[in-house]
Amino acid sequence: MDIRINDVLEMKKPHPCKTGDNKSFLVLRIGMDFRIRCLGCGHEVMIPRAKAEKNIRRLIRGGEVVFPQKKSPDNT
């Protein structure tokens, strides 16, 4: 999965902070681990790449949803 710095990840499970938009996280660092920041409370978390990619529901880059990709209608 092509994840870049400053992408917003919407995860399957919310951050336990219970404030604001607690399923969305900003990507601060990428590599074998991701450093992500909760957009609700600002708490930063290091999470293994495999675990993060498994739990991503939506990837937002520049205000556009990148993942999941919309399927084009079948013209057959």
Write out the chain's pLDDT in tens, 76 residues: 889 999 999 999 888 877 766 889 999 999 999 999 998 888 999 999 999 999 999 999 988 888 876 665 655 5
74: in domain: no
Domain assignment of residue 41, given as a range: 8-67
Measured distance CA(22)–CA(28) in Å, rounded? 17
75: in domain: no
How many domains does the structure of the chain reveal?
Answer: 1
73: in domain: no
25: in domain: yes
Measured distance CA(62)–CA(44) in Å, rounded? 21
What is the residue type of 59?
A: L
